[in-house]
């Protein structure tokens, strides 16, 4: 459990980090919170020649609201625990706060970063799930260019992403939730702090009468990456009652073909995904109604 030798750099500026990345490409790994990378290094499942520690980079740790574009931008180095209590997120993108609560244990939440979590692309990751549900975007830079990748184009299978070897995520961007929105995440873990066997996220917006105006639903842990469930979302629109919600949640099955492994059978994962989606939808809807009362 000792990592293979590597060279370690800890640049002070984004430009410097990007030029290292440009130079070393595939043979380098970015180190953010280290909560996924360091175990991989210790087990020698990853053996990069270079480690580029980005923890000192300025400007990657903020959470900002842009009222003009109605977006919220979260710097790649924002730690999981910050997501939980950040007032901007709680007011305008609370799905991220809800999701972050479920990540690992307190030590992991205080180090792990949103950029690292998205780049690592764990099929059960809570932040990939929430950002997927919200149809977020990733702001990515390399030494000479910069682009914005919609999350639905970002993941490419288990632990795979569309990032080029010389690219770095510097921010995650999501649309502000409309008024009268409620958010909820539900998941099933074998033990406290474990990765979820299955998880579901829902953000529900209601109109003034309390009927569903817009729904965002995604499930995690049941496919190589988080899956948006557009059929469920469509079925929810205009609905007001729990029976209809459960029927809508059943449609999750049409979006997934879960894997079978030593943790769970495919049927069980499918069953969980549907049950959790139904719970997340119920709970998000209830919160949307509270938000309506307050509005």
Partner 1 sequence: MAYIGQRMTRVEDERLVTGQGQYVSDITPSGTLHLAVVRSLHAHARITHLDLSSAQCLDGVIGVYGPDDVLPIMKPFPPGMVDARLQARMPTPLATGRVHYVGEPVAVVVALSRYIAEDAVRLVEVNYEPLPAVTDPVAGEYADPIHDGADSNLAAEIAYRVGAGADALKDADLVVQTSLRLGRVVGHPMEPRGIVAIYDSEQQNLSVYAGTQGVHGFRKSLADMLGLSESRIRVVAPDTGGGFGLKTRIYPEDVLAAYLAMRLNRPVKWQGDRYEEFISTNQERDQWHRAKIGVKRDGRIVAVVDEYYQDQGAYTPSGIIVADTTAVSIMGPYRVPNFEAVGKVVVTNKVPVGPYRGAGRPQGTFVMERLMDHAADALGMDRVQIRRINLLTPDQLPYQNGISSRGALMTLPYGEYQKTMEQVVDAIQYEQYRDTVRCEGDWRLGIGIANYLEMSGGVGFEGAKMRLLSDGRVQIATGASGQGQGHRTAIGQVAADRLGLPFEQIVVVEGDTAAIERGIGTFGSRTMIMAGNATTQAAKGFRQRLLAFAADLFEASPEDLMWQHGTISVSGVPARALSLAQIAEEALTRQQELEYEAYFDASGPAFGMGTHGVEVAVNTKTWEVKIRQYRICHDGGVIVNPLLVEGQTIGGTVQGLGTALFEALIIDPDSGQPQNASFLDYLLPGAGEMPDFMITEVEYPDPTNPEGFKGVAEGGVMPPMAAVCAAIEDALKEWHVRADVLPITPNDIFLQVTRGGAHETRSI
Ligand X SMILES: Cc1cc2nc3c(=O)[nH]c(=O)nc-3n(C[C@H](O)[C@H](O)[C@H](O)COP(=O)(O)OP(=O)(O)OC[C@H]3O[C@@H](n4cnc5c(N)ncnc54)[C@H](O)[C@@H]3O)c2cc1C
- Nearest approach, Cβ of 272 to partner 1 (angstroms)? 6
Residue 184 β-bridge partners:
202
Residues 198-257 that bind ligand X (CB under 6 A): none
Site string for partner 1, 154-193 (x = CB under 8 A): ----------------------------------x-xxxx
Q: Does 249 bind partner 1 (CB under 8 A)?
A: no
For partner 1, the closer CB: 69 or 242: 242
Q: Using CB atoms within 10 A of its CB, is residue 129 exposed (0-12), middle (13-18) or buried (19+)?
A: buried
Give the single-character DSSP code of 48.
-
Query: What is each CA distance from 215 to 20, 93, 96, in whole angstroms?
Result: 42, 14, 16
In whole angstroms, give the CA distance from residue 124 to residue 248.
22
Query: Applying CB under 6 A, which part among 107-115, 148-156, 206-214, 271-279 lies near ligand X?
Result: 107-115
For ligand X, the closer CB: 55 or 244: 55
Q: Does 45 bind partner 1 (CB under 8 A)?
A: no
For partner 1, the closer CB: 170 or 195: 195
Q: Please give the sequence-ordered ranges of beta strands (E in DSSP) within 239-280, or none if there are none.
A: none
Query: Applying CB under 6 A, which part among 111-119, 203-211, 237-245, 276-284 lies near ligand X?
Result: 111-119
In whole angstroms, give the CA distance from residue 137 to residue 114.
13
By C-alpha distance, which of 91, 85, 69, 101 is closest to 171?
69
Query: Applying CB under 8 A, which part among 2-10, 19-27, 61-69, 131-139 lies near partner 1?
Result: 2-10
Is the separation of the CB atoms in 138 and 148 below 8 Å?
yes
Residue 276 in 3-state DSSP? helix
Residues 159-188 that bind ligand X (CB under 6 A): 163, 168-169
- Nearest approach, Cβ of 288 to partner 1 (angstroms)? 22
Find all residues with CB under 8 Å of 180, minimum gap 6, and list them.
205, 206, 207, 208, 213, 288, 291, 292, 295
- Measured on CA atoms in the order 228, 230, 232, 237, is the torsion positive or negative? positive
Residues 31-70 that bind ligand X (CB under 6 A): 31-37
The token duo for 44 is 């020698």
Q: Does 262 bind partner 1 (CB under 8 A)?
A: yes
Q: Does 108 bind ligand X (CB under 6 A)?
A: yes
Residue 66 β-bridge partners:
71
Contact positions vs ligand X (CB under 6 A): 29-37, 76, 103-104, 108, 112-113, 115-117, 119-120, 122, 125-127, 163, 168-169, 193, 195
Contact positions vs partner 1 (CB under 8 A): 1-5, 39, 43-44, 188, 190-194, 262-265, 267-268, 271-272, 275-276, 279
């Amino acid at each position: 459990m000792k990592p293979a030798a590597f060279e370690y750099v800890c640049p002070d500026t984004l430009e410097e980090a990007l030029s290292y990345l440009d130079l070393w490409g595939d043979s380098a790994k970015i180190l953010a919170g280290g909560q996924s990378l360091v175990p991989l290094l210790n087990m020698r499942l990853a053996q990069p020649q270079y480690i580029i520690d980005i923890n000192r980079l300025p400007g990657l740790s903020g959470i900002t609201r842009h009222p003009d574009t109605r977006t919220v931008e979260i710097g790649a180095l924002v730690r999981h625990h910050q997501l939980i209590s950040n007032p901007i997120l709680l007011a305008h993108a609370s799905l991220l706060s809800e999701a972050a609560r479920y990540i690992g244990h307190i030590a992991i939440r205080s180090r792990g970063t949103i950029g690292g979590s998205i780049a690592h692309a764990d099929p059960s990751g809570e932040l990939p799930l929430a950002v997927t549900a919200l149809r977020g975007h990733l702001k990515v830079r390399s030494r000479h260019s910069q682009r914005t990748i919609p999350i639905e184009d970002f993941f490419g299978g288990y632990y795979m992403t569309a990032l080029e070897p010389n690219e770095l995520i510097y921010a995650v961007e999501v649309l502000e939730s409309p008024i009268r929105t409620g958010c909820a995440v539900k998941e099933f873990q074998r033990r406290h702090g474990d990765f979820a066997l299955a998880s579901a996220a829902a953000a529900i917006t209601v109109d003034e009468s309390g009927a569903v105006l817009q729904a965002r639903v995604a499930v995690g842990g049941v496919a190589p990456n988080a899956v948006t469930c557009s059929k469920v979302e469509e079925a929810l629109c205009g609905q007001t009652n729990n029976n209809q919600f459960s029927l809508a949640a059943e449609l999750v099955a049409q979006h997934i073909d879960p894997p079978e492994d030593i943790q769970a059978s495919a049927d069980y994962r499918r069953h969980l995904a549907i049950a959790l989606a139904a719970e997340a939808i119920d709970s998000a809807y209830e919160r949307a109604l509270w938000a309506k009362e307050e509005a």
